[in-house]
Amino acid sequence: MALYIVEADCISCGDCEPVCPTQSITEGPVVFKIDKRTCTECEGDFDVPQCVKVCPIDNCILPLEA
C-alpha cells in the first residue's frame, strides 16, 4: 500500500515533502513523487495521510492500485 502523486495535477508547491513521516516524498525531475517502497499511507503515525491533508489540489494524491 502506498500513495502516488498525479503528475498532471501536481503544481510542485512542495507542501507535502516536509510532512511525510517516512521521508518518502522527494522532488522529481517533473513534479514531486512518492517512493512506493517506503510510503505507509501514514499508518502507525497519523490517522490520515499527511500529504493528502496538506495538498492544495483535490485528487492529486491517490492510493496506488494493486
Partner 1 sequence: MSQNALSRELALRIALAARALPNTDSKRLLAVLSDCVEAPMTESKIATIALETFRQADGGALAQVDSTVLQQALKILSNTAPEKILPATQAYQDGDLPNSVRIACASDDAIHVNGHFGACAWFMVYQVNAEEARLIGIRTAEIPEGLVVDDKNVYRAEQIQDCKVLYVASVGGPAAAKIVRLGIHPMKLDEVASLAGIISQLQTVMAGSPPPWLAKAMGIDAGERFKFGQEAVG
Which positions lie near partner 1, rule CB under 8 A?
Answer: 2, 4-12, 28-31, 33-34, 36, 56-57, 64
What nine digits make up the cell of 61?
A: 494524491
Which residues are registered as beta bridge partners of 5?
61
In three-state secondary structure terms, 21 is coil
Minimum separation from the CB atom of position 8 to partner 1 (A) = 5
DSSP 45: T
Minimum separation from the CB atom of position 39 to partner 1 (A) = 9
- Judged by beta carbon, residue 8 or residue 48, the one nearer partner 1 is 8
Minimum separation from the CB atom of position 14 to partner 1 (A) = 13
Residue 10 near residue 51 (C-beta atoms within 8 A): no
